[in-house]
Amino acid sequence: MAARKTNTKTVKAQTVVPPKPSPSLSRARGVSTWKEAAEWLRARGIEDIECITPDLAGVARGKMMPTSKFTSNTSLALPSAIFRHTISGEYPDETEEFRYDSRDSDIKLVPDLSTLSVVPWETDPTAQVICDIVDTDGKAVRYTPRNVLKHVLGLYKERGWKPVVAPEIEFYLVAKNDDPDYPLRPPQGRSGRSIQGGQGYSIAGINEFDELIDDIYHFSAAQGLEIDTLIHEEGPAQLEINLRHGDPIELADQVFLFKRTIREAALGHGIYATFMAKPMQGQAGSAMHIHQSVVDAKSGKNIFSNPDGSASKEFFHFIGGMQQYVPKTLVMMAPYVNSYRRLTPGMAAPVNNAWGNDNRTTAFRVPVSDAAARRVENRLPSSDANPYLALAASLAAGYLGMMKGLEPTPPSDGTANEGSVELPRGLLEGVALLENEPDLREVFGDEFVGMYAGVKRGEFETFMQVISPWEREYLLLNV
């Protein structure tokens, strides 16, 4: 009997290819979708998330929640009144233009997932996300700072333009101060001595705070924030961080987060970081210089330069707009009584409305560059400004100049910071200039202008309730 033949087949083992991880999982900052957000949070073991938005002062407001609630399509709401209180937490009286919502209705937080990042100084795994503000119908609330800047950028987009900015933020490190009646003083560095002034660009001055600066770098890297350079400025323990140029919303977000980061890093070393414009009498103030250029949205070419490399008409009109409108928006760049202590004759800050080529005594400086990098530096904003509003004001001024074909004055070749002050000399004067300019009302909207002016007047009235050391020194026994 013949043996049966057995048919055998070779079965190839199937290779299981694991799904490729989303590229966003490896990024320190930002995802594209809610699915990616859930994966990003899970991969890092995030337990809590802070949903934050800048108020008029640039202070982070919002809500914290467990990660599971954040990814379950939870509706996040805040009362509209948080955008109507002063820096001291008070609510100004109503006026014809400054009004409260009669129902104090909710406004909604809408997370911008491109801003998702960790909060590196927290002990428990925590993330943060910056939110936009919409009303209950889903429409952008025009008077909120991030939306104010977005609206200005929309005006550029309609013309086929895209602004590019690079902020430079100055700040002081100071010893802890729990009694506001006492002046601030510099902290002790690693040498055990308090650092003094005159340390501009000093590497030794930076090295006094090596461990703190290392924390700033580590915290920044963990959040995907890009520091270009860090230097020591003229004041005692005054530092400056320069950010890489880019999209205005992204850079405003970075300044918003940098301020928070630097304060937290300093607290970890038992000192304060302050962005007050003028924290120490007789010392240099702290600025937030803004470098600005505009590119064609399609080609990416700088519209401030002609094909032959010469300066374009748009470049000069942009400067003309800065000269015309920045003094009227200065209250958005110098928002407090203290801000105007920085803008005084004889100090490093400009008190003029001039422009010049590589001239640091002018309000609007044109740095030395090639044609592709031609830009205008606005040297007037102080570091206490809300970055969203300061950028919106500066870019709106340049936009109006280009739209109206405004011509600038001749450039200043010599010292421009001598003679009379060409800017608002105080907070109320700045408020009035903003209120009384129709072109700015058209750009920012009557609701924002009225609300911002009302808050600033409320802050001034609060300030006027304080009796200063100057008054006790010179009026107590002499009048």
| pLDDT level of residue 198 (50, 70, 90 thresholds) | low
Q: What pLDDT, on a 0 to 100 scale, did the predictor assign at position 19?
A: 54
| pLDDT level of residue 24 (50, 70, 90 thresholds) | low
Q: What pLDDT, on a 0 to 100 scale, did the predictor assign at position 14?
A: 52
Closest CA to 381 of 293, 448, 285, 253: 285
Q: What is the pLDDT of residues 89-112, one digit of tens each?
A: 998 888 888 888 877 788 999 999
| pLDDT level of residue 2 (50, 70, 90 thresholds) | very low
- Between CA 118 and CA 116 the distance in angstroms is 7
User: Does 114 have pLDDT greater than 60?
Assistant: yes
Q: What is the pLDDT of residues 354-405, one digit of tens each?
A: 999 999 999 999 999 999 999 999 999 999 999 999 999 999 999 999 999 9
Q: How many CB atoms lie within 10 A of CB 251?
A: 24
Average pLDDT of the residues of the chain: 91
Q: What pLDDT, on a 0 to 100 scale, did the predictor assign at position 386?
A: 98
For 24-46, what is the mean pLDDT?
92
- Between CA 173 and CA 153 the distance in angstroms is 34
Q: Tokens for 251?
A: 């850079």
What is this structure's pTM? 0.93
Residue 201 CB contacts under 8 Å (≥ 6 apart), including other chains: 231, 232
